[in-house]
Homo-oligomer: A and B are copies of this chain.
Amino acid sequence: MKLANFKDVKLEDVSVEGAKNTKIRWLISKEENAPNFAMRMFEVEKGGNTPFHKHAWEHEVFVVEGDGLFVTEWGKRPFKAGDFIFVDPQEMHQFQNAGDSILRFLCVIPHEKKTVKTMNPFATGKANNC
């Protein structure tokens, strides 16, 4: 079990080509023994965007704060806090900050492989105290 605030999680740069003024916090991932999927918070500053790209896995997105444009090969659509977006695998997509303040959205993705939780702390190298 883990309970924390998103602001307590390390804010990391997104350095992938095509990303601009975009950062990420990995809220729930394999580090927490999440077996199937990871929850990340993206933070896109004013004027920033994620890359226009596609990949083999889906996105399940929920917009927490701000205003944006969701770009696909079919055009652009505005979105705002309270909206959710499903991006199919292999669909071209981009998230742009279209407002004057920060854009924050959750983006859940599947693990490449299911994580099997070990009950033996020695196996994970975490048994460094009693």
Contact B108 A88 (CB under 8 A): no
Complexed CA–CA distance, A28 and B37 (Å): 14
Number of interface residues of A (CB under 8 A): 39
Query: In the complex the two chains form, what is the Cα distance from A117 to B90 in whole Å?
Result: 12
Closest CB-CB distance, A118 to chain B, in whole Å? 13
Do A27 and B84 contact each other (CB < 8 Å), given the known contacts A3-B77, A58-B35, A108-B37?
A: yes
- Can you offer 16 A-B residue contacts whose CB atoms are under 8 A? A1-B85, A1-B91, A1-B93, A2-B84, A2-B86, A3-B83, A5-B83, A6-B82, A6-B84, A27-B84, A28-B60, A28-B86, A34-B60, A36-B110, A60-B108, A62-B64
